Structure 1
């Protein structure tokens, strides 16, 4: 399968960058990083160089390191104005249309491949105890038992385990729709918790690993339905 085009976004307006990231993800591009500061983007590029750098034009002049590094490696830097996001999308569609065609072809071929395998559903039931999330340039396994809670952060989600935190480029609603497991319950518009890790329940909060998380009033009764209460 053809490697996905890697893109980083350098924009001090993080909510706008997140929206652009979601749109590009839906088109099949791999957003490897979003940065609000030039220094952070430069540090990231020392480890992993993207195919395309999208940069807010107000930051131009502060990023000579990025511009020179991209030129040496024959990678593109595209400056954009936050008032011209539509023209940016048109530019990207034209610039990367070949990759989009290849992506569509690969998806079609993959679907045909799965349709020819009558026992494919058997494999879908084996790994229900874990999820895989994108972390840098890898897909990392997280055991569902290890997840303590998931927090909404605008158009992102933060997944907290015992000693690690992962950032997902999706909404909490999307996570809740996909995470079909009885161990997890959405207790607040901003939080999904692993019931097995709840240590304490207050009148309007729960405690997990010394972290107090808000509990919606209308979810309190639902929470108790999922627990053994004496």
Structure 2
């Protein structure tokens, strides 16, 4: 088993992680391409995919617990913020902020192809590190590391300012409901001063209605009204 480089151990410590079992952290930082030069299966290093699977769930639980305690928002709003905070893009940005690219174990071709700056790889490895931390130190320690690394995002506006129609569509998908349907139920007034009434409905959930001077604005207000009532 290859040892975890001393500089990587120091980097992990500076990033807030506590390393006990080095093998787990080596696995978390290893991309599948790293094995491309290994002639035999027994020489293959474990890659991060299993730890990524675990870390994704640990991250979700930690962030969900923070959101639950931090506000009295309804489920739809909580889900909207959670999705933004645990997204691959957010994970990748945080990975860059702690200089993760310098410590990734990538195959030569993958590195030359820009793998060290790939949102997909960086986001996945960030989750893998969280999985490694969970196995090595438990949930409470890992949760605190997440809270520290995600501090500015948790206290910021990530996931808050989303267009109501997008938010409603995400709510429907998350709750395994049919996609929202928008219908103009009324149009009144002359062309230069029309007022549109739009009804949005989600099958087996309910309906909401709103009126505005344009169809798009009425749809937006109807979606917001629906989320306020049913979300």
The TM-score bracket by the shorter chain reads: under 0.3
Rg larger in 1 or in 2?
A: 2
Structure number with greater CO (CA < 8 Å, separation at least 6) is: 2
TM-score normalised to the size of structure 2?
Answer: 0.27
TM-score normalised to the size of structure 1?
Answer: 0.27
The structure with more helix, counted as a fraction of residues: 2
The structure with more strand, counted as a fraction of residues: 1
